[in-house]
Amino acid sequence: MMLRIAASAACTWLILVTAPLAVVSGEENKKAESVSSETDPYAWLEDVEGEKSLDWVRARNALSQAQLERDPSFEKLRDDLLAIFDSNERIAFVRKRGEYYYNFWRDEKNERGIWRRTTLDEYKKAEPQWEILLDLDELAKAENENWVWSGAQLLRPDYTRCLLSMSRGGADADVTREYDLTTRQFVTDGFNRSEAKGGMSWIDIDHVFISTDFGPGSLTSSGYPRIAKLWTRGTKLEEAQVVYEGAITDLSISASHDNTPGYERNFVRRAIAFYNNEVYLLKEDGSLALIEAPNSAGKGVHRDYLTLELRDAWTVGEKTYAAGSLIVANFDDFMAGKREFTVLFEPNERSALAGYNFTKDFLLLNVLEDVASKLFVMQAEADGSWTKTPLVGAPTLGTVSVSPVDADESNEYFMTSTDYLTPTTLYMGEVGKEPEELKSMPEFFDTTGLKVTQHFATSKDGTKIPYFMLYRDEMKYDGANPTLLYGYGGFEVSLQPGYRATVGRAWSTQGGVYVVANIRGGGEYGPRWHQAALKQNRLKAYEDFAAVGQDLIDRRVTSTQHLGIQGGSNGGLLVGNMVALYPQLFKAAVCQVPLLDMKRYSHLLAGASWMAEYGNPDVPEEWEFIRTYSPYHNVKESVDYPTVFFTTSTRDDRVHPGHARKMFAKMEAWGKDVLYYENIEGGHGGAANNRQSAFMTAMAFTFLKQQLFPPAKE
């Protein structure tokens, strides 16, 4: 296997969450909380599960449900969406472990889901026979817990034991338990991690690495583990050996084991902040050897190779490697002091590294060119050079991703392809041969007459901002088309074309135009695109989004009265800023699990971990620029705003629900046209199961339809 120690935690549109759900502890945070209570009349809404707060939530939920559920189309839309989420025709994506292919699955009969496996021969069938390993609905019922699946790590080489993780209600904080696949039972007195943010991973049958809440002082200010330990079977957790202890200001600390046969190694990762990390090789004597590469670089180790994804230019000797490049070196030689690299990818103005994966003998390279995927095969030659050829049979349009089936044993790979109009297709291939189509998603909505085009808007500073538009070919450019503009713009996350069945059913087939803006702050053009909107430059992301909105109006696609916006998490911050700073551009906004109070964000739950992205509001000179994009502080009673629907989750332990609560309460008190709904479970994803996902999605699109579509004729 390849051990990739990325530059940051993956961050999706839902930023790509420890009990109890409360403000992060610490004297500094207590002071900040008390100051907030004195100056903020809605600070009491930060009490996540307080009776007063939840009574307030239930009252607002009832009002929003009454308005949206009485819409004549709501019930059918919700049922249609649930049918999509529950459909047995969806692709059951798998991961190979040993001779079996594993999958976690939810549908109408399995609300919480089942963990199952099958053989390759069975998997290739239209209706495979599955062996059920764990029924989460049965477990939840037996234990009277709202368990939501978090994942499972199987122990090599026998794959009869696993570390199985679950959360209550979909939170980031989860539990890990040792599970025996032979007996289908949790192991009595086995490895067990109590509920917390963190993780546990195998070294061998008698040893694991664990990072968790070990008690007072063991968490960072972001609420993640500060200490990594090696735990031996049969001993108490408090007796586990500390392998690394970070600073309280770090983001998180973790340790992991590379189980590649013949290349077994242990590593420690110190995440100081997003895209700021130190990675160490943990030697057998317990000492640490730093991988002396830039902290901002993503670091990966596979067999003989060290790969570095550079986010900043790096000069080594007389050679400078460009930001956004992927370079490779011999790992042992690098650790011995040699600095000989081969450049596998270097970006230009139109391209960026989307990802890479090793098979047994090759490296599969995924490149974005103007947000479209291009796949290549890289092969190391005897003289140390690498050759590059296109991946045979890879689609040339849309979004394509590729991953190894078993990087230690074969050159086989799984590949998926999709775009806004084409359901996801899964292929299985071997390098050098034509891939075989295994499965394809059904068409969940009628694409007849729909088309997709890419356009470029000009932002305030002259930068060209790409965006995709999904619409009906016969659309009239009369400014009257209901249009939904979606964006994210943060943490180097790229919004690539993909089949969105729920959007197609709820919006496109109803006559709505769907637009996705690839604004700065994202990763569509690599690190430079992300770094252009960091901290004091954050407003550029919002200028980009406004430019796309204005371009849609100028092109007569739509008009202010028919233009809505949507975004979640960091995208919720985007939506909040568009409402506060550009209220004249839009008619309606859906603001999901958002950050909004940027004065308080770093003191709430995981907020401190995002200061590399936004800045530190406790530093006066940084608060000066952060304040310019703090929606909670920039809305004014005297201004007319678009109608806003705020949604969040009580069980979101990543982005505090207090952001949405307080913003809504402030605007409600001013008599603004706002709605609010808070799912009591669901975590940062907003929903704990398919039924909740269908309900929340139906609410959002019903709201948008009510606001943006012309009124129905009597």
The CA distance from 247 to 220, in Å, is: 7
Contact (Cβ atoms closer than 8 angstroms) between residue 165 and residue 175 = yes
**β-strands 436-440, 425-430: how paired?**
antiparallel
Residue 89: alpha-carbon gap to chain centroid: 25
pLDDT score of 384:
85
pLDDT of residue 12: 31
Closest by Cα among 578, 463, 577, 468 to 528: 463
CATH of the domain spanning 45-80+444-708, picked from 3.40.50.1980, 1.10.3720.10, 3.40.50.1820, 3.40.50.20: 3.40.50.1820
| Predicted confidence (pLDDT) per residue in 512-530, tens digit | 999 999 999 999 999 999 9
Hunting for tokens 């050897």 — which residue is that? Answer: 289
Q: What is the pLDDT of residues 20-34, one digit of tens each?
A: 222 333 333 333 344
Q: Are 328 and 305 in contact (CB under 8 A)?
A: yes
Which is it for the CA torsion 596, 601, 607, 608, positive or negative? positive
3-class secondary structure, 102: strand
What pLDDT, on a 0 to 100 scale, did the predictor assign at position 414? 98
Q: How far apart are CA 165 and CA 679, in angstroms?
A: 22
What is the pLDDT at residue 689? 79
- Pairwise CA distance, residues 592 & 573, whole Å: 9
- pLDDT tens digits, one per residue of 387-407: 999 999 999 888 999 999 999
Given the DSSP bridges, would you call strands 643-649 and 674-679 parallel, antiparallel or unpaired?
A: parallel
Three-state secondary structure call for residue 172: coil
For residue 687, what pLDDT is reported? 56
Strands 483-486 and 563-568 turn out to be parallel
Residues 37-76 have pLDDT tens digits of: 458 999 999 999 999 999 999 999 999 999 999 999 999 9
Q: Are 137 and 159 in contact (CB under 8 A)?
A: no
pTM of the predicted structure, to 2 decimals: 0.89
Q: What is the pLDDT of residue 556?
A: 98
β-pair type (319-321, 114-118): unpaired
Amino acid at 306: L
- For 482, the token pair is 């209901």
For position 32, what pLDDT does the model report? 37
Q: Say how far apart CA 197 and CA 167 lie, in whole Å.
A: 10
Pairing of strands 326-330, 161-168: unpaired
| pLDDT for 24 | 31
Pick from 237, 236, 268: which is nearest to 252 by CA? 268
- The fraction of the chain above a pLDDT of 90, given in percent, is 89
Closest to 180 (Cα-Cα) out of 229, 134, 144, 143: 134
The set of residues, in sequence order, having a beta carbon less than 8 Å from that of 208 and lying 6+ positions away, is: 163, 191, 200, 201, 202, 230, 231
Euclidean distance between CA atoms 464 and 511, whole angstroms: 28
- According to the model, what pLDDT value does residue 489 have? 97
In DSSP terms, which residues pair with 167 in a beta bridge?
148, 174
Q: Residue 330 and residue 341: Cα distance in Å, rounded?
A: 8
Closest CA to 416 of 354, 505, 492: 354
Among residues 689, 674, 685, 693, the alpha carbon closest in space to that of 569 is found at 685
Q: Which residues are catalytic?
A: 569, 684
Low-confidence ranges of the chain (pLDDT < 50): 6-37, 714
Q: Please give the backbone phi and psi of residue 429, each rounded to the nearest 5 degrees, phi first.
A: -145, 175
Nearest to 9 by CA among 174, 250, 322: 250
The answer for 202, left when phi > 0, alpha when psi is -120 to 50, beta otherwise, is: beta
Q: What DSSP character marks residue 704?
A: H
Decide: 115 and 152 in contact? Cβ < 8 Å: yes
